[in-house]
Amino acid sequence: MPAFAGMTVISIVTPAKAGVHLLPAELGKTARARYLAQMPIDPVTLTQQLIACPSVTPEDAGAQDVLTYALEAQGFEVHRFTDGSPPDGPVENLFAIRGQGAPFFAFAGHSDVVPPGGGWTEDAFHPRIDGDLLYGRGAVDMKGALAAFTAAAARVTAHKGTVALIITGDEEGPATHGTVALIDWMERQGHRPDLILVGEPTSSARLGDTIKIGRRGSVNMWIEVPGTQGHVAYPHLADNPIPALARIVSRLSALDLDQGNDWFQPSNLEVTDVETGNSATNVIPGVARARINIRFNDMQNGADLVAMVERIVAEEAPQGRVTARISGEAFLTPPGELSALVSDAIRDVTGVTPEFSTTGGTSDARFLSKLAPTVEFGLINATMHKLDEAVAIPDLYALTDIYEGVIRRVFA
C-alpha cells in the first residue's frame, strides 16, 4: 500500500471508485474504528478492520469493539458480555438490536477465527489487497460476512419491525460459552427472532450457488478397554485389551446407520484414532483406546447413538468405558419463507438460483434453529481455514447487496 507522511492507509477500495481512506498514523485501533463508524459503511474497509484483530478463539483482540462502533453509528443498541473461564474462555459475545416489534429478523455469526498456522505469504492479520482479492485470516470465515451485513443494515435504517445481530467469539472453539450463552441471555431479555440468517461461507463454486437449510449432527466418543499389563512371553499372567477393542472397532465400522433421506446424506461413523500408548515391543498393554466420530442426519439423535455404542462395547468388553460429547443434533429448516426470500435476493443480485444443501460440518445454526427457522448463506468457502485465506472484493460488495435485499424483503 502507498505511504504518506504522517498518514496510514486503511482501505484502498470504495464501491464507487478506487481511492484511499487516510487516517492519522498515531491513531490506535479503537480510534480508527470510531472514525470509520462515522463514515458510510464500506464492507471492504470494515473487513480490513476486523481482519486486523487477531481474534483466535477465544481471544477477541478488539474485533467486537470494531463491530460495536460501526453498529452504534447505525442506530443499533449493542449489548456485550463475557462468559466462561480458561481454557475455553472467557468468550466475548455481542447482541445488537434496532427497532421493535414484528417481524424480528436476526443475522448471526462469529468474530473468532482459527489459528493462522505457518506459511502465509504475509502476516495473516495484516489485511492485504492484491488485485481483486483481500487476504487475511477471517476474510471468508466469516469477518467478510459480518462486514457485509453491517454495511447492508446501514442502508436500511428506516424499517418497521426489529433487526438484530447475534455475534459470538466461540464458534471455532468448543462452542460452550458463545451462542449457547447468547441464546440464554436473549431468552431472559425476551428477544426471540422470527427468522435467522447465519453468515457462514456456504457458496461453493460461485457466490450464491448454495444455501444451507440444515446440518448433520456430530458426536465424538472415546472408548477405553482396560486389560492387565504383562510380559509378552507370559500371556497367562496378563490380559491383552487389544483383541476386544479390535472386535468393537470392527463391529462399529460395519454399521449401516441409515440410507439418508430427501435432504440428508446417510449418517456415517468414522474411527479417528486407535492407541495403547505402548512403546515397548515385549509388553502387553494395560489399556487400549479408540476414538470415533459420527456425523448423523435427522433420522438419528445423539443420545441413541451413544447408547448403541455403549451396548456394543459392553458386549465385547464388559469393563469397557465410553465417554461421549454431542456437539450438536441435526437440524432442518424445510424450504419455506426464509429460504425463498434469501433465494430471491441472491437471484436479483447474481442471477444464480441457489441449491438447498445440508452438507458440510456443524455450525452455530444447530443452536439457533431451536429459536426460529434458520438458514445459512455467505461467501465462497474455498479458502476458509487455509493458508492465504482470501475473499474476492466484488463478492463482498455483491454479498452486501444480497443481505440488503434480504432485509428489505423481510420488512416489505
Longest dimension (CA), the chain: 82
Is residue 10 within 8 Å of 36, Cβ to Cβ? yes
Active site residue 112: yes
For domain 41-215+331-410, give the fold: Aminopeptidase (3.40.630)
41-215+331-410 and 218-327 share one fold: no
Active site residue 171: yes
Residues of the chain with confidence (pLDDT) below 50? 1-27, 37
> How many CB atoms neighbour CB 12 within 10 A?
18
Q: Residue 144: which residues within 8 A CB-CB, separation 6 or more?
A: 43, 47, 134, 138, 378, 379, 391, 395, 396, 399
For the chain, helix, strand, coil in percent to 5 are: 30, 30, 40
Of 83, 112, 141, 224, which one is the catalytic site residue? 112
Backbone angles phi, psi at 369, to 5 degrees: -65, -15
Of 42, 92, 141, 171, which one is the catalytic site residue? 171
Assign 97 to helix, strand or coil.
strand
Is residue 75 within 8 Å of 163, Cβ to Cβ? no
pLDDT at 39: 59
Is residue 122 within 8 Å of 128, Cβ to Cβ? yes
pLDDT digit string (tens) for 296-339?
999 999 999 999 999 999 999 999 999 999 988 999 999 999 99
Instruction: Please give the distance of CA 288 from its chain centroid, rounded to a whole number.
Output: 34
pTM: 0.85
Ordered by start, the domain boundaries in the chain are: 41-215+331-410, 218-327
For domain 218-327, give the fold: Alpha-Beta Plaits (3.30.70)
pLDDT digit string (tens) for 250-273?
999 999 999 999 999 999 999 999
pLDDT at 87: 87
